[in-house]
């Protein structure tokens, strides 16, 4: 079946480009990855958008349950049949999978007719926002549980009708940008290693000579807004707030910020200022007290009660405090006082206030932080370059898949030869 895809492109059903759709099996397995020479069965987390993660598997300990016909083969286009609503129907190509990995019953192998379609091209198509939204709408299952999409629905998914040679040029252009991104990521990792070494050097430079104080003597600690009983009516305001998911280790992610309504009179109690150190209250034991310094990019902005706001006085630099809380000594303290339950661990404000830490003179803190700040600025610049390339890549791929831009035959070679600077992003 064919249909219009906009901008002059027609659509065909995905099933017309496939030879078969094959489901796997899920034998009893131990929840540890397969080792060398062992068989493993894929978890659904092995299939991520644009990436096959082979280590996401469970070892099959009973040899009688191994079925080699379900082994993942190089170049397989794999899709999750069952997953959360957000992740159901994700697809990727297994570029170079290790041997002895089996498809599970929650994963499907889409056997592509390679005389008419390129598996990597179909993976790009299936990752497009419009098709991801369609897949989510077709998935069945009760709210909050695993969602499922059937083989018949998968076969009926509309994909652009693009000649095979142009499919390959689109894939080549996408992969050229991916190589640029990977190069920048490698440079960023090197700077992150340098930052860790510099941070360790800063904290060791005055070991034994700096006085030790409790955190509460140089900073105030406050919890944020408790959700669930928001006030209404006059005298209230609705504002963005940061939750645990926004506070990462060394950075704040504001791509998805929610709002909450509070009494206007409570604003000063929960408001953030640039320079506040945010620390998480709970999570895995080794991630307790993760955090970063708030840069004030959203103003006004609040914080949730599961995120501590630590506001330093003039004696303590928030950057120096972050350096210490994220150091092995800082992590060890949070792990030693954290309360462990079945699923997670937590710390309270009293424990944060009581954290012992070194206190160099403020001028010395700023001097020692100079090289660290320089490296962090370079890491931030690289991150912006990567994001810029991602935007270029998404826009370019969407334009080509919808027919708004048609790639000339010579583009494959010329694109690969272009320096990253021609995309508006210089080499690192």
Non-local (6+) Cβ contacts of 101 within 8 A are 34, 39, 40, 41, 42, 54, 57, 71, 72
12 DSSP β-pair partners: 2, 159
What span, in angstroms and rounded, lies between the C-alpha atoms of 285 and 332? 10
What span, in angstroms and rounded, lies between the C-alpha atoms of 64 and 70? 14
Q: How far is CA 397 from CA 166, 178, 230, 401, 409, in A?
A: 12, 12, 43, 6, 16
Residues 339-350: pLDDT tens digits? 887 667 888 899
Residues 178-200: pLDDT tens digits? 999 999 999 999 999 999 999 99
Percent of the chain with pLDDT over 90: 64
The yes-or-no verdict on residue 245 having pLDDT over 60 is: yes
Task: Identify the CA nearest to 149 among candidates 56, 250, 47.
Answer: 47
Task: Identify the CA nearest to 71 among candidates 44, 91, 41.
Answer: 41
Task: Identify the CA nearest to 277 among candidates 241, 320, 244.
Answer: 320
The yes-or-no verdict on residue 173 having pLDDT over 50 is: yes
In the block, which residue shows the tokens 């000649």? 163
Task: Identify the CA nearest to 261 among candidates 225, 299, 296, 294.
Answer: 225
User: Who has greater pLDDT, 282 or 349?
Assistant: 349
Residues 80-135: pLDDT tens digits? 998 888 889 999 999 999 999 999 999 999 999 999 999 999 999 999 999 999 99
pLDDT band at 409 (very low <50, low <70, confident <90, very high): very low
Answering whether pTM is above 0.75, one says: no
Summary mean pLDDT of the chain: 88
């Amino acid at each position: 079946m064919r249909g219009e895809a906009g901008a002059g492109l027609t659509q065909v059903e995905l099933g017309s480009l496939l030879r078969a759709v094959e489901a796997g099996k899920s034998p009893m397995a131990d929840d540890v990855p397969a080792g060398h020479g062992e068989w493993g069965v894929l978890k659904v987390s092995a299939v991520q958008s644009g990436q096959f993660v082979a280590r996401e598997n469970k070892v099959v300990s009973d040899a009688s349950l191994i079925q080699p016909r379900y082994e993942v083969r190089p170049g397989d286009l794999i899709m999750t049949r069952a997953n959360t609503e957000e992740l159901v129907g994700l697809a990727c190509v297994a570029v170079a999978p290790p041997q002895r990995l089996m498809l599970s019953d929650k994963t499907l192998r889409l056997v592509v007719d390679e005389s008419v379609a390129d598996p990597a091209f179909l993976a790009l198509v299936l990752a497009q926002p419009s098709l991801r939204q369609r897949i989510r709408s077709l998935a069945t299952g009760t709210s909050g549980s695993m969602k499922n999409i059937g083989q018949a629905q998968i076969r009926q998914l509309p994909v652009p009708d693009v000649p095979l040679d142009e499919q390959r040029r689109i894939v080549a252009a996408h992969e050229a940008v991916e190589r640029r991104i990977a190069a920048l990521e490698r440079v960023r990792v090197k700077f992150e290693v340098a930052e860790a070494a510099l941070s360790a050097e800063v904290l060791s430079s005055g070991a034994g000579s700096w006085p030790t104080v409790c955190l509460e003597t140089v900073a105030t600690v406050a919890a944020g807004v408790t959700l669930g009983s928001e006030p209404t009516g006059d005298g209230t305001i609705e504002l963005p707030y940061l939750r645990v998911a926004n506070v990462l280790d060394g950075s704040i992610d504001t791509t998805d910020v929610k709002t909450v309504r509070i009494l206007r009179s409570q604003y000063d109690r929960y408001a953030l200022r640039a320079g506040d150190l945010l620390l998480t209250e709970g999570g895995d034991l080794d991630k307790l007290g993760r955090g970063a310094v708030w840069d004030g990019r959203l103003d006004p902005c609040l914080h949730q009660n599961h995120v501590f706001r630590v506001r330093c006085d003039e004696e303590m630099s928030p950057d120096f405090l972050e350096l210490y809380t994220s150091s092995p000594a800082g992590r060890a303290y949070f792990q030693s006082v954290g309360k462990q339950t079945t699923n997670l661990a937590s710390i309270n404000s009293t424990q944060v206030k009581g954290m012992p830490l070194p206190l160099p003179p403020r001028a010395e803190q700023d001097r020692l932080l100079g090289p660290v700040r320089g490296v962090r600025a370079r890491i931030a610049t690289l991150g912006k370059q990567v994001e810029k390339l991602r935007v270029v890549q998404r826009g370019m791929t969407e334009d080509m898949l919808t027919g708004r831009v048609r790639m000339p035959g010579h583009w494959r070679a010329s694109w690969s030869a272009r320096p990253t600077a021609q995309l508006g992003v210089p080499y690192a």
